[in-house]
Structure 1
């Protein structure tokens, strides 16, 4: 008997909202995928704002259960949003940059089709990234739980005074901190808010979690990297209008005594890059390490 044909692999497209001129490159990707024998589908919200007809829409859950890969077209914010939702399904992600920085959406849109061809033909570098899981406890009871690709940020409200936070790591007291807040970041998030607050860069494969104070009252409060096996507890001791953000998604109205319990998530996300991709090249390009001033003072 002849062998049964392999089922057609599904590839989902997730596209950033309100992006001028995006329909043409999206249509080009859909045509490319179909020409290569794949079934192209849109994430449900993408289907409502992209003007490309004849493409089936799927929920995030359906994508997680059925899709071989998800292609994300936008900036790092778009990637963060879908990566959090797909993490539990372990769906590999390909990022095409239609934003500004693009640490995670790293493929230039003018190279998207050759890069996609390479990756889908197996000439890819797979890179696994860790996530954080955070639970909010009030009087010992969990009131919220979420994951973060970049960071969990505890911060005071606009116009409010300093927040006072008690931090323990693996049950050991670390410090009471008066500051504008605290960033608890993955290695992926070390190039985001944590970097702007003076934190260190962590290579994505490093098994660490970085704690970065935001404008601490005591100048001796410095960033610290702890093992990513640690359980970090941040307790709200004092302050007004304190909130916690998961990749900038806010949970507000924290109360004195609330605890944010942060640990490494059991799930991970996988980014697929073209063969030969280098994290250091990304840093040079995005952080302009390769630039130096010319005689007229301009960067080149």
Structure 2
């Protein structure tokens, strides 16, 4: 069997450092997948933290920064696991395959029980690819950049858990849009449009659309509705008022904000490359994950 992808980085879902170790089911899944790919003729390398938490010693461990030498990354877990590794590997152009052990799994879309029938053809080169740009966000305090992060799903500016509304001044492409009073504001990519943005009433964006959706969270003015924007323009959000205001990037990174701080969001030059099984399409994923009535064939 001729393989297109021989050198494979394997990344697993593991517990945070506060609760070290890995569940038995996750460990067994990784062992089975690693052995399966080895038998196919792949060189399997375990991401360093995955190796540390599994105790698997028969495979070489590798730091994320070294994965640029790999042909493909295989992520076993949920979308959160995929988001974390995707942000770090995007600059290297390493394609990613996701095997779902989470709940919804919009981007880790291969069911674990199907990995044996799916991985072989994909590693031989039978797959669909889609590329999704990251969001690049900066927090500016005057002329100083005090925080910087990449996000794949969304950038969220919101109030503290016990405080009242925040007031945010929004500009798009340098043009004033509005002062918004709400619990917060979401700037979501097409990938993130099925995450927090969807829960807050935003639309779903097809991943081929070069756009973002701007979604207010519980707005004071009911006519303040979600709006779809081009991702070619920078979005600026200034904190006008409110207590305990923070910015979240994929719900991973957190920056505490002061009045006058500006969050600048633009499209990153880096894209994440996702590989899907041959025949994959976005609408089939929506039907399956959102349990839509499929109707036709």
TM-score class, shorter-chain normalisation, is over 0.9
The match for 1:33 is 37
Shift of residue 53, structure 1, vs aligned partner: 2.6
Give the one of 192, 196, 216 matched to 1:193: 196
Distance 1:26 1:178 in 2: 47
The match for 1:16 is 13
CA RMSD across the alignment: 1.6
Out of 266-275 and 46-55, give the one that drifted further: 46-55
Structure label with greater radius of gyration: 1
| Conserved 8 A contact 1:16-1:46 | yes
1:1-300 map, 5 Å = 9-17=6-14, 18-63=22-67, 65-290=68-293
Shift of residue 291, structure 1, vs aligned partner: 7.1
How many residue pairs match? The answer is: 286
Distance 2:186 2:218 in 1: 11
Q: Can you list the C-alpha shifts for 1:124-152, whole angstroms capped at 9, x where unaligned?
A: 00111121100110012111111101000
Shift of residue 261, structure 1, vs aligned partner: 0.4
Where in structure 2 are there 5+ consecutive unaligned residues? Answer: 15-21
Distance 1:151 1:269 in 2: 15
Distance 2:66 2:116 in 1: 25
| Conserved 8 A contact 1:23-1:51 | no
Q: Secondary structure at the match of 1:271?
A: strand
| Conserved 8 A contact 2:6-2:123 | no
| Conserved 8 A contact 1:243-1:250 | no
Distance 1:284 1:20 in 2: 31
Return the TM-score normalized by structure 2. Answer: 0.93
Q: Can you list the C-alpha shifts for 1:215-269, whole angstroms capped at 9, x where unaligned?
A: 0000011000111101000000000101100100132321000000000011000
Distance 1:172 1:191 in 2: 28
Shift of residue 50, structure 1, vs aligned partner: 1.5
Distance 2:199 2:138 in 1: 25
The match for 1:297 is none
The match for 2:19 is none
Return the TM-score normalized by structure 1. Answer: 0.92
| Conserved 8 A contact 1:90-1:269 | yes
Q: Can you list the C-alpha shifts for 1:72-96, whole angstroms capped at 9, x where unaligned?
A: 0000000011101111111100000
Distance 2:6 2:279 in 1: 25
Distance 1:20 1:223 in 2: 42
